[in-house]
Copies of this chain bind each other. A is one copy, B any other.
Amino acid sequence: MSATPKPVMRLIEEFSRLPGIGPKTASRLTYFLLRAPVEQVQSLAEAIRQVKERTVLCSVCFNIAESSPCAICSSPDRDQSQICVVEEPLDVLAIERTRQYQGLYHVLHGAISPVEGIGPEELKIRELVQRVRNGVVREVLLATNPNLEGEATAMYIARQILPLGIRVTRLARGLPIGGDLEYADEVTLAQALEGRREM
């Protein structure tokens, strides 16, 4: 005999399968929903049900979108000559929030990682090269993550694109704004030195 009703245990288990949610947080969320208005609970369930049903991958840039091609790919306001290459759809949001970039995107859906068995063919790299070949692209901006996998992915892509005579750039490395030099890790500091600019 358990003190926990089955529907409650089931939801705790489902929540626990989400990233960063342990059993305690899963319990807390479940008991919050048990006390929440039924409208909020149904609304959450419905939003989860629809998030996959009502979205597609854009056939051009592979970002998550409501239609294909997506709003960015089909916008006349975006610069078709630039493609910013990112690992994940969330990275597109991060760059859009800066309002500093007017070009197109290409979402790889991951990074090369021998440890996790992810090779170039698991990512949307062939599709990127195809886009660059077919298009009016003049610059490919590599915005993969500044870690081992991201760097390896950027190197691999650069080797494919540079022979096509296209400009390949990557995001600057350096000290984060608001950071403290004293607490910067040595790799970041080394990159900030190497990338120093005239004032």
Contacts and interface: CB of A to CB of B under 8 A. Distances in A.
Interface residues of A, number: 60
Contacts of A172: none
A7 B55 contact: yes
Nearest to A21: B29
A20 B18 CA distance: 15
A164 interface: no
A156 interface: no
Interface stretch (A37-45, A120-128, A139-147, A176-184): A37-45
A55 to B, nearest CB: 5
Nearest to A58: B5
A133 interface: no
A16 to B, nearest CB: 11
Interface in A11-50: 11, 13-15, 17-21, 25, 27-35, 38, 40-50
Interface string A108-119: 010000000000
Contacts of A28: 19-20, 90
A45 B14 CA distance: 9
Given A20-B28, A52-B38, A92 B46 contact: no
Interface of A: 1-8, 10-11, 13-15, 17-21, 25, 27-35, 38, 40-55, 63-66, 71-72, 75, 77, 88-90, 92-93, 96, 109
